[in-house]
Chains A and B, each alone.
Chain A
């Protein structure tokens, strides 16, 4: 690897991290605005025009908050846990190609629309988001508090259960695309998006993705109205902000992967918009669904949550996989 490749990757990484953090900030505002409108409220509208500077005000507030921490914490792990969470969230965006099919020509170099184009593709996404579970569990463990511990147990149990359904719901796509590399998957959707033949898999992925990011109606680890706060009970100030960021960035990533894998990534129906805009539109639409669900559905009971994963989503995604495999093989046989 030569120096220019390193520099190019570093610059792209900085751009992606900056974009994700800005995206996180405005996603919080987006969520509050959309939810407010559904509840016939105006939402934040005091800081800046239409409340557009609200995320900055919130960030400053968190920055100036006093950071209190339990005295009997595990000092090293207590600091490490939020870092693991945020790093896992940021790193998984590296493989997302936001446009294509070609590369961007700048300064005589052809630069791909992704930070890296690894051949393990989606597997990288699963691997890195699984590391995020460590952040959550270590946060609960290192806080040395019963609320945090129980919240962390719930949270990691939920995330591990739903990762199964999340992974399996994508397997039909791999069968159709013949690759796990995200660029190849998007290119395979040039004529029709995978959401059409694989609609059930898309819904399975959405449900599992919502549970994976601990969002309503599966937000049992936090459950503001019944529990204290779950695994980040003992975190305050900026350290809490890191967990908050990780949750919202994970939302963006789950939506991005759904866009890439099911909704045809940068391909638009009539080619009206350039690639990155199609990508953005689709991601925002999926995020709207996230917020919409939160504004609509009440929280599930914990045993129901686990039952939904193991008794419904897991077998359904297995069945979906089998059916796709059989259909593909049968189609090849007749051709």
Chain B
């Protein structure tokens, strides 16, 4: 027993050393996070996105069904009338103020289910971190889909707010 160990021990150690040394040649598996990120699943329920129609008008009509459906009450919607000079959405009204408290939100997706116009969906962003609770109140400009590049010059509705004037961290 002891003799066997004396002869086999160094062989095992040498084999172990060879194994670790072999790993020098293998590729690095680390994904270096802020620069490279793993793709999220297509149905990831991350931070919300407010969608637009192809002509740049917002889908949200300010009906507040999402706010009613929200189990934790983290959504605030304040609606305003569309006028011919200031048309934001195709319906009668639009959301003048749309805020989600992301610290309160449980990312259940009930707002998405409740929305009759598919105006709000859960997006792919999950890296929500900041240094103050106040910065977690996502306002409408944070969540609104940017105007797609092809639409920006031609079909921009006169009154639509310029999306993401001040880009936020998330």
Query: Chain A: residues with CB nearer than 8 A to chain B?
Result: 37-42, 292-293, 295-297
Query: Chain B: residues with CB nearer than 8 A to chain A?
Result: 13, 16-17, 19-21, 23-24, 26-30, 32
Shortest B5–chain A CB gap in Å is: 10
Given A42-B28, A42-B30, answer yes or no on A37-B23 (Cβ-Cβ < 8 Å): yes
Task: Give which listed residue, B16, B17, B21, B30, contacts A41 with CB less than 8 A.
Answer: B30
Task: Give which listed residue, B13, B21, B27, B32, contacts A297 with CB less than 8 A.
Answer: B13
B23–A296 CB distance below 8 A: no
B17–A296 CB distance below 8 A: yes
Residues in A neighbouring B27, C-beta threshold 8 A: 40
Shortest A263–chain B CB gap in Å is: 19
Given A37-B23, A38-B23, A40-B23, answer yes or no on A297-B28 (Cβ-Cβ < 8 Å): no
Task: Give which listed residue, B17, B26, B30, contacts A292 with CB less than 8 A.
Answer: B17
Given A297-B13, A297-B16, answer yes or no on A38-B21 (Cβ-Cβ < 8 Å): yes
Residue of B nearest to A39 (CB): B23
Residue of A nearest to B29 (CB): A40
Residues in A neighbouring B16, C-beta threshold 8 A: 296-297
Residues in B neighbouring A37, C-beta threshold 8 A: 23-24, 28
Shortest B63–chain A CB gap in Å is: 47
Q: Tell me the bound Cα distance from A281 to B99 in angstroms.
A: 63
Q: Tell me the bound Cα distance from A297 to B28 in angstroms.
A: 21
Q: Tell me the bound Cα distance from A203 to B101 in angstroms.
A: 64
Interface of A is mostly: helix
Q: Tell me the bound Cα distance from A42 to B28 in angstroms.
A: 6
Q: Tell me the bound Cα distance from A215 to B17 in angstroms.
A: 16
Residues in A neighbouring B17, C-beta threshold 8 A: 292-293, 296
Q: Tell me the bound Cα distance from A293 to B17 in angstroms.
A: 7
Residues in B neighbouring A41, C-beta threshold 8 A: 28-30
Residues in A neighbouring B24, C-beta threshold 8 A: 37-38
Shortest B21–chain A CB gap in Å is: 7
Shortest A160–chain B CB gap in Å is: 24
B20–A38 CB distance below 8 A: yes
Residue of B nearest to A295 (CB): B20
Q: Tell me the bound Cα distance from A38 to B19 in angstroms.
A: 9
A296–B29 CB distance below 8 A: no
Q: Tell me the bound Cα distance from A295 to B21 in angstroms.
A: 9
Q: Tell me the bound Cα distance from A37 to B16 in angstroms.
A: 16
Shortest B16–chain A CB gap in Å is: 5
Residue of A nearest to B23 (CB): A38
Q: Tell me the bound Cα distance from A38 to B17 in angstroms.
A: 10
Q: Tell me the bound Cα distance from A40 to B30 in angstroms.
A: 7
Q: Which 10 A-B pairs have the closest CB atoms?
A: A296-B20, A38-B20, A296-B16, A40-B29, A38-B23, A41-B30, A295-B20, A42-B28, A296-B17, A42-B30
B13–A42 CB distance below 8 A: no
Residues in A neighbouring B26, C-beta threshold 8 A: 40
Residue of B nearest to A45 (CB): B32
Q: Tell me the bound Cα distance from A37 to B26 in angstroms.
A: 9
Residues in A neighbouring B13, C-beta threshold 8 A: 296-297
Q: Tell me the bound Cα distance from A297 to B20 in angstroms.
A: 10
Residues in A neighbouring B32, C-beta threshold 8 A: 42
Shortest A23–chain B CB gap in Å is: 23
Residue of B nearest to A37 (CB): B24
Residues in B neighbouring A40, C-beta threshold 8 A: 23, 26-30
Residues in A neighbouring B23, C-beta threshold 8 A: 37-40
Residues in B neighbouring A296, C-beta threshold 8 A: 13, 16-17, 19-20
Residues in B neighbouring A42, C-beta threshold 8 A: 28, 30, 32
Q: Tell me the bound Cα distance from A39 to B24 in angstroms.
A: 8
Shortest B23–chain A CB gap in Å is: 5
Residues in B neighbouring A293, C-beta threshold 8 A: 17
Q: List 23 A-B contacts (CB under 8 A).
A: A37-B23, A37-B24, A37-B28, A38-B21, A38-B24, A40-B26, A40-B27, A40-B29, A41-B28, A41-B29, A41-B30, A42-B28, A42-B30, A42-B32, A292-B17, A292-B21, A293-B17, A296-B13, A296-B16, A296-B17, A296-B20, A297-B13, A297-B16
